[in-house]
Amino acid sequence: MNALFNRHAQLFFQSSKLEEKLDLTLEQIRIQTNADAVNIFIIDKRTALPIFYYGRGFGELPPYALQPDSWKGLVWRVIQKRDLVFLPNIWIESSSLVRKTAFEQYRFISYQGIPLTTNGKILGVLEIFHCQEFLPDSSWFELFRSLADMLSKILDTI
């Protein structure tokens, strides 16, 4: 795992394009958190609403990426809470899932979302999905928070 992280760091610092940095970072987050898919929603500066920005692990653009209200539900819950939202089984909350069809299509079971912040300002939301019920330990949550902080620093540059 260390060799993979070192290779990621080398590629990251060689890249000057934001998309490449995001792609490398999201892949590293997906690997380190053992996630099946990863999303970023960013806060649109004009509307102050979250919009889908980037995803990894879907094979193609997620079907909700172009839906203007795809942020409602879990993303909005993360923003309102201003902290991590962890659902080991999203189907317990199925009545409130705006992206239910996509979650079924990808067979997602577990959800973790965390706000991406700098200086107390929410820039967006990082979401990760697992296709099985996921019950991480405290070190996993520390890692997830650290990865979100790293991603927040990248997003703060745009």
Q: Where are the domains of the chain?
A: 2-155
| Token pair of 119 as six digits | 């200086």
Model confidence band, residue 128 (pLDDT cutoffs 50, 70, 90)? very high
| Token pair of 100 as six digits | 């239910």
Q: pLDDT digits over 87-110, tens only?
A: 999 888 766 677 777 788 889 999
Under a CB-based contact definition with an 8 Å cutoff, are residues 130 and 34 in contact? yes
Give CA–CA dist 38/45, Å, rounded: 22
- According to CATH, the topology of domain 2-155 is Beta-Lactamase (3.30.450)
User: Nearest to residue 103, comparing CAs of 123, 140, 73, 79?
Assistant: 73
Residues in the chain: 158
Model confidence band, residue 135 (pLDDT cutoffs 50, 70, 90)? very high
Report how far Cα 102 is from the mean position of its chain's Cα atoms.
15
Q: pLDDT digits over 111-124, tens only?
A: 999 999 999 999 99
Using DSSP's 3-state secondary structure scheme, residue 62 falls into: coil
For tokens 């697992």, the residue is 130
pLDDT at position 105: 84
Distance linking the first and last C-alpha atoms of the chain: 29
For tokens 């290779």, the residue is 7
